């Protein structure tokens, strides 16, 4: 495996689950909690969980970044994160348990809310009223990409002196909440921005295009039920199908859908980054690989060729090749 490429639920997958659970959970009362495994990412306290949720009615369910928040009457909360392989879904009467099913909530309509997690990197954490906003897992998260908190001028001003690659920035939840690896690759491709472009070289116009494409790809993914590459299922236990729309992610060596150049894969910050080396550039296309001279120079573009040239190019990106 090139880099850390296990496909964990990202913002569209979590939002898909939230929307599916909302119709089943809102107004339902939790009658009983059955805990079969407590060794999650943060150890689960069964006594505390039962004391907080048993007999409570669910007021609603919302999302913050990749976290789900079940709001309980009168004012407490249940914080959920799916980790890498977590699943949160409705079990209808008579549905048998799935493997690695750790917690089951019995509802007053004879259905159950089930939490399963093969690798146990997810979490279920009861949160008292007043503690949610200052919870250490939520405190410090950046603006929501589907909200109104992303402004091109503001992003340009915040990052104008930073040398950090744009792809690494998109994965930082303190900068933008919940984007994830799949959709950062896809948004950068659609915006024609090289993943190793330094933030200081992102002008306001590039930010405007990137934010627009990021929102577009996230909304498309939510509409299609998210991306299922390994473990993700929605609230009904069904797979998503946005993977059919992926243009670069997990397509190393396949032809670009725009120019037919083979898709490349490199490692950035321990994560696999997929991109088209022809469509995605770090400079305006007219300025790429041109000879020295005044603007408008008609000299033929210089094209890197050979193994040594490719390695030099990758070193300037601060990444290592997949080969």
Is 82 contained in some domain? yes
Active site residue 271: yes
Q: Is the pLDDT of residue 114 over 50?
A: yes
Where does residue 269 fall: left (phi above 0), alpha (psi -120 to 50 degrees), or beta otherwise?
left
What pLDDT is stored for residue 277 in this prediction? Answer: 96
- Catalytic option among 9, 12, 152, 195: 9
Domain of residue 97, residue span: 11-127
The lowest-confidence range among 25-34, 36-45, 150-159, 245-254 is: 245-254
Residues 86 and 23 in one domain: yes
Active site residue 190: no
Decide which of 114 and 234 is more confident.
114
Residues 107 and 191 in one domain: no
Residues 185 and 282 in one domain: yes
Q: Is the pLDDT of residue 99 over 60?
A: yes
In this structure, what CATH number is given to the domain that contains residue 33?
A: 3.20.190.10
| pLDDT (mean) for 184-194 | 96
Is 90 contained in some domain? yes
Is 110 contained in some domain? yes
Residues 102 and 211 in one domain: no
Three-state DSSP class for residue 207: helix
Q: Is the pLDDT of residue 295 over 90?
A: no
Active site residue 9: yes
Residues 157 and 111 in one domain: no
* Domain tally, the chain: 2
Residues 108 and 230 in one domain: no
- Catalytic option among 10, 13, 125, 186: 10
pLDDT grade for 305, boundaries at 50, 70 and 90: very low
Q: Is the pLDDT of residue 293 over 80?
A: no
Where does residue 165 fall: left (phi above 0), alpha (psi -120 to 50 degrees), or beta otherwise?
beta
Decide which of 320 and 181 is more confident.
181
Is 147 contained in some domain? no
Query: What are the DSSP E strand ranges found in the chain?
Result: 30-35, 58-64, 67-72, 77-81, 86-91, 101-107, 112-117, 123-127, 264-268, 271-275, 320-321
Residues 119 and 159 in one domain: no
Radius of gyration of the chain (CA): 22
Q: Which tens digit of pLDDT belongs to each residue from 241-290?
A: 455 678 999 999 999 999 999 999 999 989 999 999 999 987 755 333 33
pLDDT grade for 28, boundaries at 50, 70 and 90: very high
Is 76 contained in some domain? yes
Residues 162 and 112 in one domain: no
- Catalytic option among 18, 190, 264, 271: 271
Residues 112 and 167 in one domain: no
What rounded mean pLDDT belongs to the chain? 84
In this structure, what CATH number is given to the domain that contains residue 271?
A: 1.10.8.50
Is 257 contained in some domain? yes
Active site residue 66: yes
| pLDDT (mean) for 174-189 | 94
Token readout for 287 is 């300025």
Q: What are phi and psi of 223, to 5 degrees?
A: -60, -35
Residues 194 and 119 in one domain: no
Q: Is the pLDDT of residue 9 over 50?
A: yes
Helix axes 11-25, 204-223, angle to 10 degrees: 40
**Where a domain ends, among 112, 127, 142?**
127
- Catalytic option among 63, 66, 206, 247: 66
What pLDDT is stored for residue 224 in this prediction? Answer: 83
What pLDDT is stored for residue 268 in this prediction? Answer: 94
Decide which of 225 and 157 is more confident.
157
What pLDDT is stored for residue 236 in this prediction? Answer: 52
């Amino acid at each position: 495996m090139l880099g850390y490429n296990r496909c964990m639920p990202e913002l569209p997958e979590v939002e898909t689950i939230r929307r599916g659970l909302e119709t089943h959970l809102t107004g339902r009362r939790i009658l009983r909690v059955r805990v079969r495994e407590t060794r999650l990412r943060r150890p689960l306290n069964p006594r505390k969980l039962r004391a907080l949720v048993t007999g409570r009615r669910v007021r609603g369910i919302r999302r913050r970044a990749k976290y789900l928040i079940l709001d309980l009457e009168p004012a407490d909360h249940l914080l959920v994160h799916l980790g890498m392989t977590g699943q949160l879904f409705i079990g209808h009467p008579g549905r048998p348990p799935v493997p690695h099913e750790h917690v089951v909530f019995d509802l007053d309509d004879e259905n159950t809310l089930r939490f399963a997690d093969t690798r146990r990197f997810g979490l279920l954490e009861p949160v008292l009223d007043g503690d949610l906003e200052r919870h250490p897992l939520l405190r410090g998260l950046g603006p929501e990409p589907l909200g109104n908190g992303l402004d091109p001028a503001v992003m340009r001003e915040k990052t104008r002196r930073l040398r950090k690659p744009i792809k690494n920035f998109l994965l930082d939840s303190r900068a933008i909440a919940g984007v994830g690896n799949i959709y950062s690759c896809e948004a950068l491709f659609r915006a024609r921005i090289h993943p190793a472009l330094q933030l200081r070289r992102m002008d306001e116009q590039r930010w405007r295009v990137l934010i627009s494409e990021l929102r577009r790809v996230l909304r498309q993914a939510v509409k299609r039920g998210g991306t299922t590459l390994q473990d993700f299922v929605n609230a009904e236990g069904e797979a998503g199908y946005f993977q059919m729309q992926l243009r670069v992610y997990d397509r190393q060596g396949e032809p670009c859908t725009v120019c037919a150049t083979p898709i490349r894969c490199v490692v950035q910050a321990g994560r696999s980054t997929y991109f088209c080396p022809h469509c995605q550039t770090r400079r305006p296309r007219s300025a790429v690989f041109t000879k020295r001279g005044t603007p408008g120079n008609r000299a033929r573009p210089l094209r890197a060729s050979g193994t040594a040239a490719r390695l030099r190019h990758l070193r300037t990106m601060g990444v290592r090749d997949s080969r």
